[in-house]
Structure 1
Amino acid sequence: MYPFWSTFFRIAAFSLLVGAGLSFVDISAEDILGTVGLSPLQLWIYMLEFRDWAIPNMILGAFIVVPVWLFIYLIRPPRAG
Structure 2
Amino acid sequence: MSPFLSTLFKIAVFSLFVGAGLSFVNISAEDILGSVGLSPLQLWIYMLEFRDWAIPNMILGAFIVVPVWLVIYLFRPPRAG
Provide TM-score, normalisation by structure 2.
0.95
Q: Percent identity?
A: 88
Distance 2:21 2:50 in 1: 30
Distance 1:7 1:30 in 2: 27
| Equivalent position amino acid for 1:20 in 2 | A
Does structure 1 residue 2 correspond to structure 2 residue 2? yes
Distance 2:71 2:10 in 1: 37
Backbone CA RMSD of aligned residues: 1.0
Partner of 1:30: 30
Q: Deviation of residue 80 (structure 1)?
A: 2.2
Deviation string, structure 1 residues 48-69 (Cα, Å, up to 9, x no partner): 0000000000001001000000
DSSP-derived class of the 2:79 partner: coil
| Equivalent position amino acid for 1:56 in 2 | P
Partner of 1:72: 72
Distance 1:80 1:48 in 2: 46
Partner of 1:18: 18
Q: How many residues align?
A: 81
Runs of 5+ unmatched residues, structure 1: none
Q: 4+ runs of 1 displaced by more than 6 Å?
A: none
